[in-house]
Structure 1
């Protein structure tokens, strides 16, 4: 048996057939007809564009420039008089003059401070729950207190912060607590 060189030999070309055994139609004619149709269309459009430009150039209505006629010296003096603004109308309202002479009466007001405020963050039946909330508030950087109150419904352990001289300071601390997920704190007058 002779050695055959499979690498240098070119493979045999296979004939293309459809699944039904027929040869496919040639697509070279379709692509050449499409390219000629596109080229003809481009030539027609280019010709139409060139004709439109030429017709604009040769049209007599586009040749005359829009120039205003030169006015004589007499016409200029007349036009100056017409360009003057008319006199302003008389004002119907007098509030502008009234405001110039108006005097403002300043009342004497006394700002009353309602007193110190406290912020209550919780009220619990057990001391352990109150201590837990107090520790959470301490981790946020504020110091809370616990007071035990006995009422009609039993004993309650209230967790509160304060006293605050102004309500704005209490609001500031309440926002700090909200950022640390301690919500539902109420600000009340200290009693």
Structure 2
């Protein structure tokens, strides 16, 4: 009986020892499995980040491409306009033509032109180389109511000639005087007075 009791006690002690060791081994195995799982999860998380980082630029790339394509669409018309041969359109008006006309306005058509003095004429009743003949004609014209003047002129190779003249007159009056003298058998001619002489006479 005593041996059976001892053997039972020994079995209990051995079972207790084996049970304690199995608990510690289970705990150790659990910790090891948890550690491996944690390392695996951490590795997986850290490994997934590069993929996400690589995917993000890939996603943003189409946006950059769209922006580049938009900028190309905006630039292309300008480039075409720059490269295209420019043909300037004719302006509706020319400043270089308008400005001079503004500075120098066109003369008014209604503005009267400055009046020029009417031409004057002498009525020459005769010309004589002898001064006495000129005096006789002058006296005859005086009887007809005309006041005459004698003008002595030196003519080359002919000497001095004495001209008997009336006037000066305007053209209408000179023609009337000439007609009157010819009716009285006095040959007369009209001689236009130079502009300088007519100015002095007036």
TM-score by length of 2: 0.37
- Tell which structure's C-alpha radius of gyration is larger: 2
Higher helix share: 2
